[in-house]
Structure formats: structure tokens, C-alpha cells
Amino acid sequence: MDDNSSKKREEYWREDVAALREDSIHGSIVLANQALNIIEEYIRRRQYQNRTELLQSLSKLSNSLIRAKPLMALIFNRSQQIIKFIKNIPKENKNIESISEIVLEEIKQLRGRIEKNFKVITRNGAKTVLEHNVILTHSSSSQVEAILKEARRMNRRFRVICTESRPLNEGSGLAFRLAKEGIKTTIIPDADIIRAVQAANYVITGTDRITETTFVNKTGTYAIALAAAEFHKPFYLVGEIDKILLKRTYPVRFGEASSSEITTKKHPNLTVQNLYFEETPIELISKLIVEDGIFELKEFVDRYL
């Protein structure tokens, strides 16, 4: 087998990473779990002879996953946690099969912590939903969706406003799923956010990343947050602590999506910009809902940032 064939076999995961990169529908929780699946599968295949080879190859895989979704802090933090865990396995353990089993067990434990955190955040968030509230959300956060469905299971009566969340309209998909759960839901065009904020009791969204000064979410979030501040409506942000990723650790990088999602028309004088994500200043947040509880902004910053 030549060197190119051997490298292709060893880096079989590049197709999986490419699929992850092209996925523009799913949120950070789903995509981070897919990234963890890719790492776990690589550990299981054992295409490495010793700890050094494992760390080198896993670092290459981790870097590829991070570059595929550079705004998603969960992918960065979880992959780095696994690499750090391997480095901390006692040096006396030189048996690569034993090391592999230990790492797979740690990934299993990590999945348990992820599931537990998701459930705790869901319960914490459901506490914010009061009787007859009108709640506005933007894009489609699986954590926000779980919170709203949990509040419905608690027999809370409330109404949700979902933006379409163009260009892929994932907000419309969320609206239909909420409606099927018996939640009164309204879909609005993104341009109608001012009226929606005025009608809402509060805004709640997820996030892909929290930095020292901003949080990253679907484009349009900044405008909604500004409107919420103007009309004195609370803005709640939901996410795991692992979504904190400081800019000094890893810079925020935005990439443009396909222009065809906006228009297929072309002209020499026409430029199309299609940015899915943007940064919103954290000072526009009223409260943050995480696995450790519900925090006012200052308390959260002092504790975690």
C-alpha cells in the first residue's frame, strides 16, 4: 500500500467532517454530538500504535472539526477536554488497548454529563415561563425547544412567537414542532421583529458561543436584543457553561454561506452577502440560563468570565 492510500485510510474521517461542515440546519448541540461521535469512532478503530500517535492523530482530527464549525464552542471545548484527558492518563500505562478503553469510558461519562446538563437547563428554563406569557425566540435552539415543551408539560398556558429565521427558515420548523405539542405558536417574517418584541413578555434564544464581551447566534439576534432593550423587555440566553470560549483562546471567525440561498440572479454590480451568524454584546442580556442555575448578567460575568 502506497503512502497516499495509507493516509487516506487513516484519515477516513475527512468525509464525516465535510458532512458536518456542510450541515447548516442543525444547531450546536446536535452538531457537537455528531463531532463527538466522529471522535469516538476514531478511538474505536485504533489506527494508532501508542499514546503519542493517538494524541497526534486526534489533534489533527480535532483541528479539522474545529475548523469545520469555528463558531461552535462545544466542539472546541469537548475535543480539547478529551485530548487533555489522554495527556493526564498516568505515564506508567503504556498499553494502548487499555488507554483506548479508558478514553472510551471517559467519552461515555462525558455523554452522561451532557445529557444531565441538558435536562437541568431544561428545568431551569421552564421556571421562567409564567402563565399567559408571550415568548419570542429566533432561529431554532434545541435547548429552547426543550424548555418550551417542558413548560407545556407543566400545564403552563403561554404563547410563542417564532421568526422564520431566513434563509433556511429553521424557525418555521421549530414553530410547527411546538404547535404539535399543543403550544399556541405564531410564525412571523424576520422583518416583523419590532412588533413581535413589543408583544412579547421576554425574548429567549440559544447561543453557539459566549466570549468575554459577546455571544454568537443567528443573524438577526443583535437587532432583536436592541429592540428588547429599547422596549424594556428581558432577554434570556440559554446554554451550557461549555459554550464559553474566550476570544483570546480562539478567535471568532465568520464565513459566508451560499449566495444562492438569497438569490440566483447575477449582475456585475450585484454583491450578495449571506452570513448566518453574528455577535451580540453580552450587556444586552438580562439573564443567563445554564446548568448551574439562572444568573443575572453581572453575577454570570463575575463567576465565569
Cell numbers at 29, concatenated? 448541540
150 and 125 Cβ atoms separated by less than 8 Å: yes
What is the model's pLDDT at position 1?
A: 47
CA–CA dist 218, 166 (Å, integer): 10
Domains annotated on the chain, with CATH:
3-119 (1.20.120.420), 127-304 (3.40.50.10470)
φ/ψ bin of 46: left (φ > 0), alpha (ψ from -120 to 50), beta (otherwise): left
Helix axes 96-126, 142-153, angle to 10 degrees: 50
- Residue type (1 letter), 287: K
Regions in the chain scoring below 70 on pLDDT: 1-9
**Contact indicator for 65, 38 with CB cutoff of 8 Å:** yes
d(CA 152, CA 185): 12
Instruction: Give dist(CA 204, CA 52) in Å, integer.
Output: 44
Pure H helices in 88-141: 96-126
Q: Which residues contact 264 (CB under 8 A, 6 or more apart)?
A: none
Distance CA 79, CA 148 (A): 30
**DSSP letters along 273-299, please?**
--B-EEEEEGGG-SEEEETTEEEEHHH
Reduce the DSSP state of residue 200 to 3 states and report it: coil
Residue 296: the pLDDT is 97
- Of 142, 88, 96, residue with least CA distance to 115: 142
pLDDT on residue 2: 52
What one-character DSSP code corresponds to residue 89?
Answer: S
Cα dihedral value 298, 300, 301, 305, nearest 10: 170
Q: Is the dihedral of CA 144, 147, 153, 154 positive or negative?
A: negative
Q: How far apart are CA 58 and CA 5, in angstroms?
A: 19
Q: What is the pLDDT of residue 293?
A: 97
